[in-house]
Structure 1
Amino acid sequence: MAVRTEQMVFQGLAGDISCAIDWPDGEPRGWALVLHPHPLQGGARDNKVVTTIARSCVQSGMAAVRPNFRGVGGSAGEFDNAVGETADMLELIRQFREQYPELVAGKWLMGGFSFGTSVAAQVYSTLAQEGRPVPGALVLAGSAVARFRFRDVHVPADTLLLHGEDDDVVPLEEAMVFAREKGLPMVVVPEAGHFFHRKLTIVKQFVLQRLALL
């Protein structure tokens, strides 16, 4: 659980990006950017998978940034099929780095759930292509990268892929196609659906294990 949650606004290409920042107790050792599922299907920064990843980061001593995408909550603009959302997150990262130079000197993680995985993967790919600092860990839960891919995607070999065996939104085989394409191992959670109901402790366990390697 976050010791303190702060509301903050960054500026994207469509206007305000409304964010919640969860702060740990004591001096943060780094930060995380955690991205939510599809805005047109009820996705928002308070989604349980998103908050589970964020709380894992806070427990590990990191500040966790949870933005709302375009058109969600106080964020300006309209859904842009991951294109505008990716551009917005690149702006958020740039502004966050300027505002918190002491934090960005430490480790950082980027995570996403469902639609958020596609934005996260494309943000990572853009940062890497432009020679900008990339996160030390990438976590993709309920991966839907291929559904909203608009550019070549390159992700690190130690990307943590988490998927439910019984996912009825993004079928396991669809996620496996992406995993095979990128040569990535995948953690399949038995009897878990898309939202990992009653399986969130397993999600937290694997995220904490990945964070321990940072």
Structure 2
Amino acid sequence: MPEVIFTGPAGRLEGRYQPSTEKNAPIAMVLHPHPQFGGTMNNQIVYNLFYMFQKRGFTTLRFNFRSIGRSQGEFDHGAGELSDAAAALDWVQSLHPDSKSCWIAGYSFGAWIGMQLLMRRPEIEGFISIAPQPNTYDFSFLAPCPSSGLIIHGSEDRVAPPKDVQGLVDKLHTQKGILITQKTIEGANHFFSDHSETLLAECADYLDARMRGELVPENVKRIK
């Protein structure tokens, strides 16, 4: 797994990158939790998602947002971090011009950034949003959400209370042309303490189903 440094909007960004052996393989990018609350690309959930995609033949990237690790810049309350994510996707796409599709996965703060990036990049055809925080962050930009995806959270999450996540899911369910899959892990908190294996298994099952052409409206093509 090569360590990489690439140029971001506020200076260099540090990442870990694993290219697929297939030229036209889809790209997956995984975004970490809040930089000011201990979030890094080495978060265990982020690390495991990275390898989940990699084992399924994706070209995979995770990176540190500005101000974390060897990434330069200062925390920018989401706006700069969204620019970081866009720059990271640009970088990996420049290395894989034959890749036509992309997935985005994010955890907590990373889920918010990932969903914003989804709105700006039509090549993103699927997402995994882990423990999003609609009680803290504004998700009204999802109007409409352009891609089908998974929203997964814990029943005992006090950081992102289930009723708030349910409100976001209910709103997305009203939109046509996409299919939102929701999973609630019983007993899990925001950090999925003692439930991380269940979390990863649910994410892997969802991704495998999508790769079989399932869990999307019938008019949406399967991943090539």
Both structures adopt the same fold (TM-score exceeding 0.5) = yes
Instruction: Say which SS state the counterpart of residue 188 (structure 1) adopts.
Output: strand
In the alignment, is residue 143 of structure 1 matched against residue 136 of structure 2? Answer: no
Whole-angstrom CA distance in 2 between matches of 1:150 and 1:75: 27
Whole-angstrom CA distance in 2 between matches of 1:98 and 1:22: 14
Alpha-carbon distance change, 93 to 145 in structure 1, aligned in 2, over 3 angstroms: farther
Q: CA deviation at 1:147?
A: 2.7
| Counterpart code for 1:114 | S
Cα-to-partner distance string for 1:103-127 (whole Å, 9 max, x where unaligned): x24x431100000011000001122
TM-score by length of 2: 0.82
Within the candidate set 11, 28, 41, 1:32 is matched to 28
| Counterpart code for 1:178 | L
Q: CA deviation at 1:181?
A: 1.9
Q: Which residue number in structure 2 is paired with residue 127 of structure 1?
A: 121
In the alignment, is residue 98 of structure 1 matched against residue 94 of structure 2? Answer: yes
Note if contact 2:134-2:164 (Cα within 8 Å) is conserved in structure 1: no
Matched pairs, number: 202
Cα-to-partner distance string for 1:176-214 (whole Å, 9 max, x where unaligned): 121122224420000011111222222222222232223
Within the candidate set 56, 59, 64, 1:60 is matched to 56
Whole-angstrom CA distance in 2 between matches of 1:37 and 1:74: 17
Could you list the runs of 4 or more consecutive aligned residues of structure 1 that deviate by over 4 angstroms after TM superposition? none
Q: List aligned pairs for 1:3-14, cutoff 5 A.
A: 5-14=1-10
Q: CA deviation at 1:155?
A: 2.6
Note if contact 2:125-2:148 (Cα within 8 Å) is conserved in structure 1: no
Whole-angstrom CA distance in 2 between matches of 1:173 and 1:148: 15
Instruction: Say which SS state the counterpart of residue 118 (structure 1) adopts.
Output: helix
Alpha-carbon distance change, 165 to 43 in structure 1, aligned in 2, over 3 angstroms: same
Alpha-carbon distance change, 146 to 8 in structure 1, aligned in 2, over 3 angstroms: farther
Higher helix share: 1
Whole-angstrom CA distance in 2 between matches of 1:185 and 1:157: 11
| Counterpart code for 1:175 | V
Whole-angstrom CA distance in 2 between matches of 1:197 and 1:110: 23
Within the candidate set 53, 56, 70, 2:66 is matched to 70
| Counterpart code for 2:67 | G
Q: CA deviation at 1:157?
A: 5.6
Q: CA deviation at 1:20?
A: 0.8
Q: Which residue number in structure 2 is paired with residue 194 of structure 1?
A: 190
| Counterpart code for 2:102 | W
Instruction: Say which SS state the counterpart of residue 121 (structure 2) adopts.
Output: helix
Q: Which residue number in structure 2 is paired with residue 163 of structure 1?
A: 153
RMSD over aligned CA atoms reads 2.0
Task: Calculate percent identity across the aligned residue pairs.
Answer: 24
Q: CA deviation at 1:27?
A: 3.9
**Gaps spanning 5+ residues in structure 1: where?**
none
In the alignment, is residue 15 of structure 1 matched against residue 11 of structure 2? Answer: yes
